[in-house]
């Protein structure tokens, strides 16, 4: 398992911005897993170029909207594998 810090993820996203103009990300099967006060746990599939990941995210609602607190992703095999 690889765990990246907030700053490492932010640096990767910033360095990748605009470098793949043909990139399309599809989010499928979004579902609410749990809600407790301002915290929300959700799960979904993320697909890019035929490869998918199962994702679970922990979000916190505040006055500015939603803040991402944690994201866990696991690769899944493409449907034709």
Reported as a pLDDT band with limits 50, 70 and 90, residue 81 is: low
Tell me the C-alpha distance between 57 and 68, whole Å. Answer: 7
pLDDT at 19: 86
What's the maximum distance between 2 C-alpha atoms anywhere in the chain?
A: 44
The CATH-assigned architecture of domain 24-81 is Roll (3.10)
CB 57 within 8 A of CB 71: yes
C-alpha dihedral over 26, 13, 77, 4, to 10 degrees? -140
Q: In the block, which residue shows the tokens 């991402």?
A: 68
Among candidate residues 17, 80, 3, the one with its CA nearest the CA of residue 49: 80
pTM above 0.85, yes or no: no
């Amino acid at each position: 398992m690889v765990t990246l810090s907030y700053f490492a993820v932010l640096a990767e996203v910033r360095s990748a911005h605009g470098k793949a103009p043909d990139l399309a990300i599809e989010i499928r099967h979004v579902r609410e897993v749990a809600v407790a006060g301002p915290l929300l746990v959700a799960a979904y599939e993320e697909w890019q170029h035929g490869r998918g990941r199962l994702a679970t995210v922990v979000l916190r609602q505040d006055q500015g909207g939603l803040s991402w607190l944690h994201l866990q992703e696991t690769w899944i095999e493409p449907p034709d594998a």
